[in-house]
Amino acid sequence: MIEKIAELLKNKKLWVATAESCTSGLVAHTLTNISGSSEYFKGGVVAYSNEIKVKILGVKEETLKKYGAVSEQTAREMAEGARKAIGANIAIATTGIAGPTGGTAEKPVGLVYIALATPKATEVRKFLFKGNRIENKQNFCNAALGMLLEYLEKIDEK
């Protein structure tokens, strides 16, 4: 999958950025596992703390208070903030609960919100995975990359 993403980003001359919480940089790491990734990967922010989400990505404190760090709203603001701050065409954001601790009845372990921000719109999807911490992080990363690939395959040639 990553080879196809790299090819499409290069061919379409698009830049991607990441804003990651629960994946701790795994999406950025995976995107840069391809030689020549400097042609399409602009940069990323590991915003593990709410402070970084606010200060670097521009997530509103009121969003965090009202909806929490693990929410559709926070994922959206993270992706849009990363796209703007880094100056990329596309940004992917992940915020979730990898586990094994930290889950609640409303927000269980394995829950992740992934946002994909583009110049035209921001899409946020909710996923729930069952696995240990490492499996969840990998599943979150794969879901984020899957969203990116799906987007790249359907946009018009630039």
The answer, yes or no, to whether residue 59 has pLDDT greater than 80, is yes
pLDDT digits (tens, 9 = 90+) for 11-53: 999 999 999 999 999 999 999 999 999 999 999 999 999 999 9
pLDDT digits (tens, 9 = 90+) for 71-105: 999 999 999 999 999 999 999 999 999 999 999 99
d(CA 82, CA 56): 8
List beta partners, residue 93: 19, 115
Give the per-residue pLDDT at 157.
Answer: 47
Q: What is the domain partition of the chain in residue ranges?
A: 2-154
Find out whether 57 and 45 touch, Cβ atoms under 8 Å.
yes
Give the mean pLDDT of the chain: 97
pTM of the predicted model as reported, rounded to 2 decimal places? 0.96
The answer, yes or no, to whether residue 156 has pLDDT greater than 70, is no
The answer, yes or no, to whether residue 4 has pLDDT greater than 70, is yes
Counting beta carbons within 10 angstroms of the beta carbon of residue 128, is it exposed (0 to 12), middle (13 to 18) or buried (19 or more)? middle
Architecture of domain 2-154: Alpha-Beta Complex (3.90)
pLDDT band at 158 (very low <50, low <70, confident <90, very high): very low
Biggest distance spanned by C-alpha atoms of the chain: 44
